[in-house]
């Protein structure tokens, strides 16, 4: 599929509504909270869209969604898109300060918030210059409106706004690892194209399948593979509102709802295998495709999963900027330890620091070209110039290509690392640690855990009057959890009398890598 296959006037709510002709009464969405057919989803989407219109939401307006993965997330989301708005998917693990930035940056006038996350919004709501309405999924306190009451009585009929295929429909923020979070917008056209090229053409998703993603819907990965992709072909999806870090709840969800596609991060597969007797206690026989993205998949982990389950893990790569996954292995052509080859519909090149294409076998910076890419970072001119280079997106990842044309990951251009599939900045963790009274200096780097998955490790030297101890290590880790998103915390702390330095006095990170 290419952009030219879509009409100029296109609203991607069609990904939902095209199913009404042939499968309106098929279950489209499974969850513990409720099951919904395509017809039921469509009717509630129309109610949400009509309610948004009454709040003054018009084409191009931004609406924040801060919720667990619930049916109301989905109906709110498509309601925003259907009236021509831009849905701002907000990460449920972030801080009030980060939410304040997102709401101000997007100028969202409406926020739809789950009751469990409402305190984080209430903490910063009074200072928000643009936010006018808060809709609560669940119990709504004074000054807010209940989602259920908000849509009650609204018409179940609504015409889609006449959006252009290039109009923005989603806005997602990166985790703010190198300064303020970067707002990345995507257009209506990006959704069917990415669904077709990756999930359908590359992985073989069919209308008889049922998808389940560990990545939440506020991530473009989860949104693409576990909402747009299944409904693009008429398949069903499974949602789980519980935190994905609880491995037993994930296994219970698979056992109960019988998905055929599992989209996970490598850390997630390791956590599933860490549950004693996971493959005997829980029925995983429905699975036919297991995919991984978000962080590097160790070959040993892939082999262990196949040995225990008989299933391959198909590793892929994409970016929030690209929306789609553009580099992937394939079922039947899977090489653990590589990221496979370019997904058809995209172009890749590896370049040196001067922008010249490097010879095969040499490490270069990955650049990608495709039709699903964003055009810039919202309100961040210089960072946009750095990443969006004409037709090409500079990913910041280093790769080399082997003799058979398979791509091997070789690290980041900078010192960024991923924990559980989410970018983490060593600088941010270091800055937080240095605010603790006990810390004199510190450095954070990625280190492999027992499953060879990279996690943050902090090297710390202490101020006079403090002594290294297991209690202080726990205290510092808890301090980080309290002052940043919990997934960014260091997993280990190694105390040192003095951190190694270069001749110019900088911390010598190369020495720490071998420590």
| Residue 76, pLDDT score | 98
C-alpha to C-alpha distance for 220 and 176, rounded to whole angstroms = 16
Domains annotated on the chain, with CATH? 1-186 (3.40.50.980), 189-414 (3.40.50.12780), 425-513 (3.30.300.30)
**How many CA atoms, within 13 angstroms, populate the side-chain half-sphere of residue 503?**
0
Question: Which DSSP symbol is given to 268?
Answer: H
Average pLDDT of the chain to the nearest whole number: 93
Low-confidence ranges of the chain (pLDDT < 70): 175-179, 414-416, 423, 501-506, 510, 514-515
Using a 10 angstrom Cβ sphere, with 0-12 exposed, 13-18 middle and 19 or more buried, the burial of residue 136 is buried
C-alpha to C-alpha distance for 364 and 369, rounded to whole angstroms = 16
Residues 6 or more apart in contact with residue 425 via CB below 8 angstroms: 177, 178, 416, 488
| Residue 515, pLDDT score | 62
Mapped to the 3 state alphabet, what secondary structure does 279-348 carry? HHHCCCCCCCEEEECCCCCCHHHHHHHHHHHCCCEEEEEECCCCCCEEEECECCECCCCCCCEECCCCEE
Q: Is the dihedral of CA 493, 496, 500, 505 positive or negative?
A: positive
- What digits encode the pLDDT tens for the residues 145-193? 999 999 999 999 999 999 999 999 999 998 654 568 899 999 999 999 9
Element containing residue 429 per DSSP (H, E): helix 426-434
| Residue 410, pLDDT score | 82
C-alpha to C-alpha distance for 218 and 421, rounded to whole angstroms = 13
C-alpha to C-alpha distance for 143 and 133, rounded to whole angstroms = 9
| Residue 28, pLDDT score | 98
- What digits encode the pLDDT tens for the residues 125-140? 999 999 999 999 999 9
CB–CB of 313/297 below 8 Å? yes
- What digits encode the pLDDT tens for the residues 188-219? 999 999 999 999 999 999 999 999 999 999 99
CA–CA distances in Å: residue 310 to residues 257, 284, 313: 20, 10, 10
CB–CB of 9/164 below 8 Å? yes
C-alpha to C-alpha distance for 96 and 120, rounded to whole angstroms = 5
**How many CA atoms, within 13 angstroms, populate the side-chain half-sphere of residue 143?**
8
Question: Which DSSP symbol is given to 356?
Answer: P
Question: Which DSSP symbol is given to 380?
Answer: -
Using a 10 angstrom Cβ sphere, with 0-12 exposed, 13-18 middle and 19 or more buried, the burial of residue 284 is buried
């Amino acid at each position: 599929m290419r952009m030219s296959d879509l009409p100029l006037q296109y609203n991607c709510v069609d990904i939902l509504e095209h199913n009404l002709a042939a499968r309106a009464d098929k279950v489209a969405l499974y969850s513990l909270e409720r099951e919904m057919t395509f017809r039921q989803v469509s009717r509630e989407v129309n109610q949400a869209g009509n309610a948004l219109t009454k709040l003054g939401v018009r084409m191009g307006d931004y609406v924040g969604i801060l919720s667990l993965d619930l049916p109301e997330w989905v109906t709110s989301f498509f309601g925003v898109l259907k009236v021509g708005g831009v849905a701002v998917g907000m990460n449920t693990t972030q801080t009030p300060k980060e939410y304040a930035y997102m709401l101000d940056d997007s100028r969202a006038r409406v926020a739809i918030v789950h009751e469990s996350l409402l305190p984080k919004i209430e903490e910063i709501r009074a200072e928000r210059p643009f936010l006018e309405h808060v809709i609560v999924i669940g119990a709504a306190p004074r000054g807010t409106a209940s989602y259920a009451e908000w849509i009650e009585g609204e018409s179940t009929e609504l015409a889609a706004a006449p959006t252009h295929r290039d109009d923005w429909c989603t806005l997602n923020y990166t985790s703010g690892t190198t300064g303020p979070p970067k707002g990345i917008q995507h257009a209506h056209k990006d959704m069917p194209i990415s669904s077709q090229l990756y999930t359908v053409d590359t992985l073989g998703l069919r209308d008889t399948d049922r998808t389940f993603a560990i990545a939440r819907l506020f991530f473009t990965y989860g949104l693409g593979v576990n909402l747009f992709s299944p409904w693009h072909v008429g398949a069903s999806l499974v949602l789980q509102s519980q935190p994905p870090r609880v491995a037993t709840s994930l296994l219970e969800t698979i056992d109960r709802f019988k998905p055929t596609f599992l989209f996970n991060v490598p850390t997630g597969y390791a956590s599933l295998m860490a549950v004693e007797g996971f493959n005997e206690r829980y029925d995983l026989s429905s699975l036919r495709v297991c995919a991984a993205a978000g962080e590097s998949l160790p070959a040993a982990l892939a082999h262990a999963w196949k040995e225990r389950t008989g299933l391959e893990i198909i590793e892929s790569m994409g970016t929030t900027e690209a929306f789609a996954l553009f580099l992937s292995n394939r079922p039947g052509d899977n090489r653990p330890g590589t990221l496979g080859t370019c997904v058809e519909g995209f172009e890749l090149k590896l370049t040196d620091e001067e922008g010249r294409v490097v010879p095969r076998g040499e490490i270069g910076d990955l650049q990608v070209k495709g039709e699903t890419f964003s055009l810039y970072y919202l309100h961040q001119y210089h960072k946009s110039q750095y990443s969006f280079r004409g037709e090409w997106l500079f990913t910041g990842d280093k790769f080399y290509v082997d003799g058979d044309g398979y791509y091997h990951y070789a690290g980041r251009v900078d010192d960024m690392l991923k924990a559980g599939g989410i970018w983490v900045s060593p600088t941010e963790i270091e800055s937080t640690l240095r605010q603790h009274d006990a810390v004199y200096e510190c450095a954070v780097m990625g280190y492999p855990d027992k499953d060879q998955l990279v996690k943050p490790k902090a090297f710390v030297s202490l101020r006079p009057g403090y002594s290294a101890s297991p209690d202080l290590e726990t205290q510092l880790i808890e301090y980080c959890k309290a002052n940043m998103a919990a997934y960014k915390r260091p997993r280990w702390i190694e105390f040192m009398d003095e951190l190694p330095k270069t001749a110019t006095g900088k911390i010598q990170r190369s020495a720490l890598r071998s420590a």
